[in-house]
């Protein structure tokens, strides 16, 4: 008797996902690799070092509180095991050690070779020491107030990421007591680097750090006491604002109150000088209630981020990337009305290769056009000084009905967004704050215009923020359209955000948290079903982060069904690639280049049928379930092909700036498959090729 095969497909055994936080640290290791590349201009290498420091600050401010809490007694140890905690700590310490090794062994010698030095006290001549002494007395000492610790002077409140000194003193104070520990807080208003005058520098560019200036004159701050051991230190605190939105009567007020306390949250990391004694470091750990694993002994300044100042102070443009001037969007001619151009077809703007000025021109025309009746826009991160917000102001002044959905909880941009919300309300704009419990991360701008006896809508959708500054630094796609169904959907989403009525029927948009995740899973499963039936299928996804388990499970199923899957994930990717028995058909690459990769593109191919979506959302659970996000189709064949070529194929063929994820969870940098015939010609990665392509068009 022959047994019939079961028609029920066998569900593949899922691999163990990679650790999200280790993936984040691995991403920063890839960024740090740019510091090692000799072909990168010197000051740009310094900038990458500072970027990693800034990223690590945010990592600790947002992600590290759980791990730090676990090291304390009676903590909830079921949240994460000790092995993961140890692996994360080891990875973070190794990354910091590599940072400072590159700073001391690569960047500092390279700068010194070019006549740029940051002088320590022992390296300064007598004349330089006298100048520094005068600077200290005039500019620094009046701002310092050392605090000697005793029962009436407890350990002071130390702000998040601020520079401080801990000093051990001998002898007795003015009242005969032997309190031996003092704290010196360094005001943020003081520059972290000071350039010595030319008469003391010769042909070189010499600097002193504020920490070195204070360190050299600590004894002057404690007359009559002998200064013994000392160290600079910096504490990083948990800084993710937590506001009970259900309880808050006024979210804006609640957030303002929260911002006042952000700098004094739970301590999560302590940085001290490498020469700091265990006596002083243990004292600080005890004060901040931190475990030993939270201590970082650093061989240099405790805040490498502030070395960004050196880039401007050196004034050597030849040590920077050659300035890139974005071309005006190719589809916009700059003279004809954008409204008229959109009637002929959609417009795509590829930033930063094409200028964000095209988006500003669209809003500017809407503000000035007497036939425009209303403008609606979402604001997530626009910056403290934005021409775009000025245009909205102008639109209100010219009688337009302006509605702005401001996301007050955009991490670390809360204050700027609160200020904009208040300014817009004062001039008469309608300001709403989205939906309680959700962040509004969708990027959309809708213009309603009277044409004849009808109202016609025009819209802008984007994968990135309405921020003219970051539009020069991040890769993103802007999509301008007057498609009737798409603009109808955008209007419906604005109404949903304003009045929180019933979920609207949408023709083309996919929206989180309602059905974006489900629809994406359906697209993956549809492609998998077609592959199982013999179709040639391909999925290409480009995003910043991939951590959503349901979406990753769908991709694993599709890979088992025979779908070829290419993932271009800039940052954390928890889906292991090319693991035997699990993900053989899934390849993962990360592009780290001059610009921050920010574009989200989702491409599904079944034989000759191609479907492509752009989106504001990464494939993370928070984006799918706790944010208002959008994904929309690009149906114009020429625009779709342009996106596939520029944002997908060009990146899949990058052999310069790409990193490949291996089955063991490690990334390896790609190497060119062909040798260069001209060794003087610099090989171009995907971003370099796109810059060259658009420069040739302009």
Q: What is the pLDDT of residues 437-495, one digit of tens each?
A: 788 889 999 999 999 889 999 999 999 988 888 899 999 999 999 999 999 999 999 99
> Which of the four pLDDT bands, split at 50, 70 and 90, describes residue 568?
very high
What digits encode the pLDDT tens for the residues 498-520?
A: 887 778 889 999 999 999 999 99
Residue whose structure tokens are 């910056």: 383
Task: Say which residue, 266 or 117, is predicted with more confidence.
Answer: 117
User: Residue 357 pLDDT more than 60?
Assistant: yes
Nearest partner of 165 among 230, 224, 72, 248, judged by Cα: 230
Nearest partner of 493 among 546, 452, 457, 455, judged by Cα: 457
Annotated catalytic residue within 441, 460, 560, 598: 441
User: Residue 696 pLDDT more than 90?
Assistant: no
Pairwise CA distance, residues 102 & 97, whole Å: 9
Label the pairing between strands 627-633 and 510-512. Answer: antiparallel
Pairwise CA distance, residues 624 & 515, whole Å: 8
Nearest partner of 629 among 462, 448, 420, judged by Cα: 462
The domain defined by 512-672+682-697 carries CATH number 3.40.50.300: no
Pairwise CA distance, residues 620 & 151, whole Å: 49
User: Residue 60 pLDDT more than 50?
Assistant: yes
> Which of the four pLDDT bands, split at 50, 70 and 90, describes residue 389?
confident
User: Residue 177 pLDDT more than 90?
Assistant: no
Q: What percent of the chain has a predicted confidence (pLDDT) above 90?
A: 71
Task: Say which residue, 20 or 261, is predicted with more confidence.
Answer: 20
For residues 333 and 69, the answer to whether their CB atoms sit within 8 Å is no
| 441 in active site | yes
What digits encode the pLDDT tens for the residues 236-250?
A: 998 765 544 444 445
- SS3 for 162? coil
Report the half-sphere exposure of 420 (CA within 13 A, side-chain side): 30
Fold of 338-508: Endonuclease; Chain A (3.30.870)
Q: Supply the pTM of this predicted model.
A: 0.91
pLDDT of residue 501: 76
Cα dihedral 477, 483, 485, 487 in deg (nearest 10): 60
Spans of all domains in the chain? 42-319, 338-508, 512-672+682-697
Q: What is the DSSP string of 501-543?
A: -SPPP-SS-EEETTTHHHHHHHHHHHHHHHHHTT--EEEEEEE
**209 contacts: CB under 8 Å, gap ≥ 6:** 118, 192, 193, 194, 301
What digits encode the pLDDT tens for the residues 422-442?
A: 888 888 888 887 777 788 889
Residue whose structure tokens are 């443009």: 317
Tokens at 523, concatenated: 């697209």
> Which of the four pLDDT bands, split at 50, 70 and 90, describes residue 4?
very low
pLDDT of residue 154: 85
For residues 449 and 342, the answer to whether their CB atoms sit within 8 Å is no
For residues 388 and 416, the answer to whether their CB atoms sit within 8 Å is no
- SS3 for 406? strand
pLDDT of residue 175: 62
pLDDT of residue 77: 46
For residues 438 and 611, the answer to whether their CB atoms sit within 8 Å is no
**What is the biggest distance separating any 2 CA atoms in the chain, rounded to whole angstroms?**
102
Q: For 388, phi and psi rounded to 5 degrees?
A: -65, -40
pLDDT of residue 677: 45
Mean pLDDT to the nearest integer, 86-92: 90
User: Residue 320 pLDDT more than 70?
Assistant: yes
* Assigned superfamily of 42-319: Polyphosphate kinase middle domain (3.30.1840.10)
- Bridge partners (DSSP) of residue 589 are 568, 660
Comparing 42-319 with 512-672+682-697, is the CATH topology the same? no
> Which of the four pLDDT bands, split at 50, 70 and 90, describes residue 76?
very low
Pairwise CA distance, residues 500 & 494, whole Å: 9
What digits encode the pLDDT tens for the residues 367-380?
A: 999 999 999 999 88
What digits encode the pLDDT tens for the residues 180-234?
A: 899 999 999 999 999 999 999 998 999 999 999 999 999 999 988 889 999 999 9
pLDDT of residue 3: 36
Mean pLDDT, rounded, of the chain: 88
pLDDT of residue 379: 85
């Amino acid at each position: 008797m022959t047994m019939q095969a079961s028609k029920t497909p066998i569900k593949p055994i899922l691999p163990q996902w990679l650790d999200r936080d280790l993936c984040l640290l691995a991403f920063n290791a890839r960024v740090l690799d740019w510091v090692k590349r000799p072909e990168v201009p010197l000051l740009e290498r310094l900038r990458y070092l500072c970027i990693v420091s800034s990223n690590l600050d945010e990592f600790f401010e947002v992600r590290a509180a759980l791990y730090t809490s676990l090291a304390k007694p009676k903590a909830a140890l079921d949240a994460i095991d000790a092995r993961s905690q140890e692996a994360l700590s080891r990875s973070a310490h190794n990354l910091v050690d590599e940072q400072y090794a590159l700073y001391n062994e690569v960047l500092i010698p390279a700068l010194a070779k070019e006549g740029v030095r940051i002088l320590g006290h022992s390296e300064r001549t007598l004349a330089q020491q006298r100048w520094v002494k005068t600077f200290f007395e005039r500019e620094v000492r009046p701002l310092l107030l050392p605090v000697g610790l005793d029962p009436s002077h407890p350990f002071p409140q130390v702000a998040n990421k601020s520079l401080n000194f801990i000093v051990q003193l001998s002898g007795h104070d003015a009242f005969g007591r032997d309190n031996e520990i003092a704290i010196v807080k360094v005001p943020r208003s003081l520059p972290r680097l000071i350039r010595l005058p030319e008469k003391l520098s010769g042909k070189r560019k010499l600097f002193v750090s504020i920490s070195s200036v204070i360190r050299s004159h600590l004894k002057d701050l404690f007359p009559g006491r002998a200064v013994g051991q000392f160290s600079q230190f910096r504490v990083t605190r948990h800084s993710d604002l937590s506001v009970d939105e259900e309880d808050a009567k006024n979210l804006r007020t609640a957030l303002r109150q929260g911002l006042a306390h952000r700098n004094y949250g739970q301590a999560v990391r302590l940085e001290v000088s490498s020469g700091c004694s265990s006596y002083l470091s243990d004292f600080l750990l005890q004060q901040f209630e931190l475990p030993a694993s939270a201590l970082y002994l650093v061989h240099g300044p405790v805040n490498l981020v502030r070395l960004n100042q050196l880039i401007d102070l050196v004034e050597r443009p030849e040590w920077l990337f050659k300035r890139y001037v974005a071309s005006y969007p190719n589809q916009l001619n700059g003279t004809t009305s954008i409204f008229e151009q959109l009637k002929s077809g959609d417009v795509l703007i590829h930033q930063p290769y094409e200028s964000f000025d095209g988006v500003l021109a669209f809003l500017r025309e809407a503000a000035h056009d007497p036939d425009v009746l209303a403008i609606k826009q979402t604001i997530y991160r626009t910056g403290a000084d934005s021409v775009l917000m000025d245009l909205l102001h102008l639109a209100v002044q010219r009688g337009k009905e302006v509605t702005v959905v401001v996301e007050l909880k955009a991490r670390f941009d809360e204050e700027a967004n609160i200020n904009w919300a208040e300014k817009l309300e004062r001039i008469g704009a309608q300001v709403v704050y989205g939906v309680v419990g959700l962040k509004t991360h969708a990027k959309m701008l809708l213009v309603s215009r009277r044409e004849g006896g009808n109202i016609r809508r025009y819209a802008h959708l984007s994968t990135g923020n309405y921020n003219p500054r970051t539009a020069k630094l991040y890769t993103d796609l802007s999509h301008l359209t007057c498609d009737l169904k798409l603009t109808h959907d955008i209007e419906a989403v604005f109404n949903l955000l304003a009045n929180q009525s019933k979920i609207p029927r949408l023709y083309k948009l996919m929206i989180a948290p309602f059905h974006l995740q489900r629809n994406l899973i359906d697209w993956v499963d549809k492609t998998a079903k077609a592959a199982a039936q013999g179709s040639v299928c391909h999925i290409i996804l480009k995003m910043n982060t991939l951590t959503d388990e349901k979406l990753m499970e769908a991709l694993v199923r599709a890979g088992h069904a025979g779908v070829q899957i290419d993932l271009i994930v800039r940052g954390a990717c928890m889906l292991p690639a090319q693991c035997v028995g699990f993900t053989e058909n899934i390849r993962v690459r990360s592009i780290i280049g001059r610009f921050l990769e920010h574009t989200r593109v989702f491409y599904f191919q079944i034989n000759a049928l191609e479907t492509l979506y752009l989106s504001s959302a990464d494939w993370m659970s928070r984006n799918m379930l706790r944010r208002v996000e959008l994904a929309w189709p690009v149906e114009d064949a020429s625009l779709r092909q342009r996106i596939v070529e520029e944002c997908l194929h060009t990146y899949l063929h990058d052999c310069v700036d790409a990193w490949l994820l291996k089955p063991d969870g490690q990334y390896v940098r790609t190497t060119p498959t062909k040798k260069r015939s001209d060794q003087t010609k610099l090989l171009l990665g995907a971003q370099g090729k796109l810059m060259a392509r658009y420069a040739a068009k302009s």
